[in-house]
Amino acid sequence: MSRALRGGRGLLAALLLPVLLVAAWWVLTADSTSFYLPPLHDVFARFPEVWTPERIRLDVVPSVLRLGAGYALALVIGVSLGVAIGSARRLRAFVEPVLEFLRAVPPTVLVPVFMLFAGLGDTMKVLVIVSGAVWPILLNTIEGVRAVDGTLSETCRCYGIHGPARLRHLVIRSASPQIVAGMRQALSVAIILMVISELFAAEDGIGYLLIQFQRGFAIADMWTAIIVLGLLGIALAMLMRLFEWRTLRWYRGLREAQRGRS
Amino acid sequence: MTTTSQDTTGGRRAGAETLLEVRGLRKVYDGRVEAVRDLTFAVSRGEFVCVVGPSGAGKTTLLKCIAGLLPPTSGDVVLEGSPVAGPPPGMAVVFQEYGRSLFPWMTVRQNVELPLKQKRLPRDRRQELVDEALAAVSLADVPGSYPWQLSGGMQQRVAIARAVAYEPHILLMDEPFAAVDAQTRADLEDLMRSLWHRMGVTTVFVTHDIDEAVYLGQRVLVLSSSPTVVLDDVAIDLPVERDQLTTRSSARFAELRAHVFEQVRRAKRERGR
Amino acid sequence: MTKAPELSSAQRGPAAVDAGSGPGSVARRLLRGNVAAGVLGFAAFLVLLEVVPRTGVVSPDYLPPFSRIAGALGDLVREGGFWTAVGDTLRSWFLGLLIAVALGIVAGFVIGTVPVLREFTASTIEFLRPIPSVALIPLAVLVFGLSMKSTLLLVVYASFWQVLIQVLYGVADVDPVARDTARSFGLGRWARTVHVTWPTALPYVFTGIRLAAAVALILAITAELVIGIPGLGAEIGVAQQSGAVPRMYALVVVTGIFGVIVNVGFRAAERRLLSWHASVRGEVPV
């Protein structure tokens, strides 16, 4: 098959089912009188009414900013702690059971706890996001740092590569596949916590809007909010993929080479 | 029957400057396993010394102690007059597992350049050294490739280029060609000889392959099985210009090879293997 | 033939399970040392939890000392209502997990073994997967109200993806040589699925179940907390609203304990059940 044909087929494969599903949704609900499932046409019609630029500024932006802040903080804490713990065997053994317990607590359950400390504002929401998103990053970083190759490590010692240089060139790069896997899991957790923290106790945000619409029985509006959240999740997942694709190019190549050789 | 190190001056060139001295090296693991009992020998500047012995003879232990990667239980390693406490500057090591000693996230050029950056050399000088080294190992056309895109033999060349670009005072090689196929091994052996000719780097080459040791070295140190001591120090008086075909089929090669082989076999027998 | 270079664990891929210590007394001593260090670490954590609120660094109103939490925990355990809540949570967790696993395995095998399906559903899966399940909470409330069905909707939706993704990877991991061998012996599609695909995919299935179990627990408790469906999550919500802080923390600890049991338990079961499986498989990062 020629490259153009193959590309065309790929595009078709990517779009066919989603388009079909949306079309089916449209058609099947067209005459819907169900309370919970309004015609998709109506939902789409509500979009420009509900998601005005003002609304976006007042609700979407704060949500995304909180998400970003929480995620960034979780990344910094997770990687730095992870490197520290992963490099010191004693420390790791010391800390492992505690971490194992703390990470098993469902992060949503900490929302009431954080409400005690931090009230209802942005701090609380960011804290909630951090408290959940940090775990996949931290644990994966520990795992990745732990598994740094011994021969590579000795090579660094021989050539006098120590300290910050070693951290940069050896440790973090070597652990990057694991770290990025953790970052991906952390992203889903962060989005969930962002929504939860806004469902619970908030004055603005996409989650806040979602629950407001539901309480006010503005069903079509509620569906638009669900769709917006879905789109947000998809967009961020794609960004994550792009990031991963670029930073782990070497890793993909390495694995393929090994698979080819065995 | 315990053995102590024999007199090891047999192979050394008279009047040469001593670069590396190993005195009474002893290494005991976990307080129980005596891997190396007593190793004493010296290496002159510019020499190519091969270390050979049965498997389990502590060859890698010896190399790691010389490299400062492993602290000896007792004894000294003295490099250029200073005792070795950790990996000393001016030393380069080539490991057997080439796949694991090269950084897979760096290109060939970046791999070779990294130790030079560590040495704080200016960019031009680094460029020069890297280009020279890659040309010397015949890899001038793949600087932008990643190690995993290359064959095993080429990867080991990259490791060698990295060692050579570093301009070390002493080069340690730990069975570098053991994981490579026979034809590639022959090429790499010749590469080592030619590099040594051109750059005159003092080289300590550990191998289990007796033929290789005799082919490459000016001296061959024969180690016993553990607890390891130096059994013999054989001077290799083959011509300086060596060739896979002619040298290996020469009578003198066969004699030397047989001599070393006999030593190694005796060592295995004495251990009761 | 070039000998394949040894793979470091980093190059093999993220490992699903720490395989534990190797043979020999050195490894055993290391393990004992690690266990001792771990116990010490946990004890230190508890001590900190006791001391910090008492010294006023953090107000004991927000973070009661460990002893008070332990006391509340003791009270909890004696309450009938607590155990009812536990039962409710576990029931929705288990049921949701069961449904999600069944759906995920079936869907995964069907999609995975038919290349056309795989190709055409890939994008849909990628689109649907990142949709946060919690976005469906208001919908669930509308449709199912405060019944367990709401919880189930959320649990199944979230857990299904974990299983599906892992099964897809498992089916894709089938060694083409094995498959061709089977085909050359005249094994039909069904027989091939049973004898070649299933054993290869089995470790991935277990990984998927383990991941799904953890997610299911989180979603079940979350649904209870946010919606108010009876269960541990609801108890936490009630405790928070009524200001019973030590009780709230005690309940959080209980959820943590359940989380640990699920994580550790499934990992151990996986190891035991798959001890025969000589594979260098790694947990595919989801």
Q: How would DSSP label each residue in A106-141? A: -GGGHHHHHHHHHTTSHHHHHHHHHHHHHHHHHHHH
Residues of C in contact with B184 (CB under 8 A): 2
Q: What is the mean pLDDT of the segment spanning B59-66?
A: 89
Q: What is the mean pLDDT of the segment spanning A244-257?
A: 89
Q: Look at residue C26 and tell me if it is in a domain.
A: no
Q: How far is Cα C216 from Cα B179, in angstroms, rounded to an integer?
A: 48
Q: What is the mean pLDDT of the segment spanning B176-190?
A: 90
Instruction: Please count the structural domains in chain C.
Output: 1
pLDDT in tens, A63-107: 999 999 999 999 999 999 999 999 888 899 899 889 989 999 999
- Selecting from B92, B97, B146 the residue whose C-beta is nearest the C-beta of A158 gives B92
Question: Which position has the higher pLDDT, B15 or A12?
Answer: A12
Which of C3, C9, C12 to mutate: most B Cβ within 10 Å? C3
Q: How far is Cα C253 from Cα C256, in angstroms, rounded to an integer?
A: 5
Q: How far is Cα B161 from Cα B115, in angstroms, rounded to an integer?
A: 11
Q: What is the SS3 assignment for B50?
A: strand
Percent of chain C, pLDDT > 70? Answer: 87
B&C contacts, CB < 8 Å: 24
- To the nearest whole angstrom, how far is the Cα of B166 from the nearest Cα of chain A? 9
Residues of C in contact with B151 (CB under 8 A): 2
Nearest-5° angle of CA A192, CA A65, CA A246? 80
Grade residue C283 by pLDDT with cuts at 50, 70 and 90.
Answer: very low
Residues of A with CB under 8 A from a CB of B: 149-152, 154-155, 157-161, 165, 169-170, 173, 176, 250-251, 253-254, 257-258
Q: Does C26 touch chain B (CB under 8 A)?
A: yes
Q: How far is Cα C35 from Cα C157, in angstroms, rounded to an integer?
A: 38
> Domain span at residue C267?
71-273
| Cross-chain residue pair C2–B100, CB shorter than 8 Å | no
Q: Look at residue C25 and tell me if it is in a domain.
A: no
- To the nearest whole angstrom, how far is the Cα of B33 from the nearest Cα of chain C? 12
Q: Look at residue C48 and tell me if it is in a domain.
A: no
pLDDT of residue A261: 61
Q: How far is Cα B94 from Cα B101, in angstroms, rounded to an integer?
A: 8
Residue in A with minimal Cα distance to C144 = A36
Residue C2 has phi, psi (to 5 degrees) of: -70, 135
- Selecting from C3, C5, C26 the residue whose C-beta is nearest the C-beta of B30 gives C26
pLDDT of residue C282: 47
Q: Any idea what the CATH number is for the domain that residue C241 is in?
A: 1.10.3720.10
Q: Look at residue C231 and tell me if it is in a domain.
A: yes
Residue in C with minimal Cα distance to A239 = C130
Domain positions in chain A: 60-261
| Cross-chain residue pair C120–A149, CB shorter than 8 Å | no
**Is residue C9's pLDDT more than 70?**
no
pLDDT of residue A240: 94
Question: Which position has the higher pLDDT, B269 or C52?
Answer: C52
Nearest-5° angle of CA C49, CA C51, CA C55? 125
Q: Which of C84, C53, C89 is nearest to C70 (CA)?
A: C53
Six token digits for residue A107: 């992060």
Kindly list the partner chains of chain C, i.e. chains with 3 or more CB atom pairs below 8 Å: A, B
Q: CB-side exposure of A20: number of CA atoms within 13 Å? A: 10
Residue C222 has phi, psi (to 5 degrees) of: -60, -45
Residue C161 has phi, psi (to 5 degrees) of: -65, -40
- Selecting from B67, B87, B97 the residue whose C-beta is nearest the C-beta of A160 gives B87
Residues of C in contact with B104 (CB under 8 A): 11
- Selecting from C119, C123, C255 the residue whose C-beta is nearest the C-beta of A18 gives C123
Residue B242 pairs in a beta bridge with: none
- Selecting from C1, C6, C26 the residue whose C-beta is nearest the C-beta of B97 gives C6
Q: Look at residue C93 and tell me if it is in a domain.
A: yes
**Is residue C261's pLDDT more than 90?**
yes
Pairing outcome for strands B18-29 and B33-44 = antiparallel
CATH 3.40.50.300 range(s) for chain B read 1-90+171-192+201-273
Question: Could you say which residues from 128 to 147 on chain A have a Cβ atom under 8 Å away from some Cβ of chain C?
Answer: 140, 143-144, 147
Question: Which position has the higher pLDDT, C22 or A195?
Answer: A195
Residues of C in contact with A98 (CB under 8 A): 41-42, 45
Q: What is the mean pLDDT of the segment spanning B186-207?
A: 91
Q: Which of A182, A185, A234, A210 is nearest to A63 (CA)?
A: A210
Six token digits for residue B229: 């001591």
Q: Look at residue C42 and tell me if it is in a domain.
A: no
Question: Could you say which residues from 165 to 184 on chain C have a Cβ atom under 8 Å away from some Cβ of chain A?
Answer: none
Q: Does C221 touch chain A (CB under 8 A)?
A: yes
Q: CB-side exposure of B26: number of CA atoms within 13 Å? A: 13
Based on its alpha-carbon atoms, the radius of gyration of chain A, rounded to whole angstroms, reads 23
- To the nearest whole angstrom, how far is the Cα of A25 from the nearest Cα of chain C? 14
Q: What is the mean pLDDT of the segment spanning A211-221?
A: 88
Q: What is the mean pLDDT of the segment spanning C216-233?
A: 92
Grade residue C213 by pLDDT with cuts at 50, 70 and 90.
Answer: very high
Grade residue C21 by pLDDT with cuts at 50, 70 and 90.
Answer: very low
Residues of C in contact with B98 (CB under 8 A): 5
pLDDT in tens, A34-71: 788 888 888 888 888 889 898 888 999 999 999 999 99
Q: Which of C215, C113, C97 is nearest to C167 (CA)?
A: C113
| Cross-chain residue pair B67–A158, CB shorter than 8 Å | yes
Give the count of beta carbons closer than 10 Å to the beta carbon of residue B235.
Answer: 14
**Is residue C185's pLDDT more than 50?**
yes
Residues of C in contact with A13 (CB under 8 A): 119-120, 122-123
pLDDT in tens, A144-187: 998 899 899 999 999 988 889 999 999 999 999 999 999 999 99
Residues of B with CB under 8 A from a CB of C: 30, 97-100, 104, 151-153, 179-181, 184
Q: Does C84 touch chain A (CB under 8 A)?
A: no
Percent of chain C, pLDDT > 90? Answer: 38
Question: Which position has the higher pLDDT, C155 or C11?
Answer: C155
Q: Under 8 Å CB-to-CB from C45, ≥6 apart: which residues?
A: A98
**Is residue C7's pLDDT more than 70?**
no
A149's torsion region: left (phi>0), alpha (psi -120 to 50) or beta?
A: beta
Q: Does C1 touch chain B (CB under 8 A)?
A: yes
Kindly list the partner chains of chain B, i.e. chains with 3 or more CB atom pairs below 8 Å: A, C
Q: What is the mean pLDDT of the segment spanning C127-150?
A: 88
pLDDT of residue B116: 93
CA distances from B251 to B52, B213, B237, B255, C129 (A): 21, 16, 12, 6, 73
- Selecting from A152, A160, A258 the residue whose C-beta is nearest the C-beta of B103 gives A152
pLDDT of residue C24: 54
pLDDT of residue A36: 82
Burial group, residue B240, by CB count within 10 angstroms (0-12, 13-18, 19+): exposed
- Selecting from B100, B104, B179 the residue whose C-beta is nearest the C-beta of C3 gives B179
Query: Position of tokens 């909010």?
Result: A225
pLDDT in tens, A22-33: 888 888 888 877
Q: What is the mean pLDDT of the segment spanning C142-165?
A: 91
Q: Does C282 touch chain A (CB under 8 A)?
A: no
Average of per-residue pLDDT values in chain B: 87
**Is residue B15's pLDDT more than 90?**
no
pLDDT of residue C27: 67
pLDDT of residue C278: 52
Pairing outcome for strands B219-223 and B228-235 = antiparallel
DSSP for residue C134:
G
Indicate the pTM of the whole model. 0.84
* Cβ(C143)–Cβ(C233) below 8 Å: no
Query: Position of tokens 């599903």?
Result: A21
Grade residue A1 by pLDDT with cuts at 50, 70 and 90.
Answer: low
Q: Does C226 touch chain A (CB under 8 A)?
A: yes
**Is residue C13's pLDDT more than 50?**
no
Residues of A in contact with B104 (CB under 8 A): 250-251, 254
Residues of A in contact with C236 (CB under 8 A): 109, 112
- To the nearest whole angstrom, how far is the Cα of C277 from the nearest Cα of chain B? 27
Q: How far is Cα A88 from Cα C116, in angstroms, rounded to an integer?
A: 48
**Is residue B267's pLDDT more than 80?**
no
| Cross-chain residue pair C286–A185, CB shorter than 8 Å | yes
Q: How far is Cα B253 from Cα B211, in angstroms, rounded to an integer?
A: 9
- To the nearest whole angstrom, how far is the Cα of B220 from the nearest Cα of chain A? 24
| Cross-chain residue pair C5–B98, CB shorter than 8 Å | yes
Residues of C in contact with B152 (CB under 8 A): 2-3, 5
pLDDT of residue B13: 52
Q: How far is Cα A72 from Cα B138, in angstroms, rounded to an integer?
A: 46
- Enter the CATH code of domain B1-90+171-192+201-273: 3.40.50.300
Q: Does A11 touch chain C (CB under 8 A)?
A: no
| Cross-chain residue pair B105–A257, CB shorter than 8 Å | no
Which of A94, A209, A241 to mutate: most C Cβ within 10 Å? A94
Give the architecture-level CATH label for domain A60-261. Answer: Orthogonal Bundle (1.10)
Average of per-residue pLDDT values in chain C: 83
| Cross-chain residue pair C4–A148, CB shorter than 8 Å | no
Give the count of beta carbons closer than 10 Å to the beta carbon of residue C152.
Answer: 23
**Is residue C111's pLDDT more than 70?**
yes
**Is residue C22's pLDDT more than 80?**
no
Q: How far is Cα B261 from Cα A113, in angstroms, rounded to an integer?
A: 75
- Selecting from C5, C8, C11 the residue whose C-beta is nearest the C-beta of B179 gives C5
Six token digits for residue A142: 């520990």
Instruction: Please report the ipTM that was assigned to this predicted complex.
Output: 0.84
Q: How far is Cα B59 from Cα B96, in angstroms, rounded to an integer?
A: 12
Question: Which position has the higher pLDDT, B127 or B240?
Answer: B127
Residues of A in contact with B118 (CB under 8 A): 159-161, 165
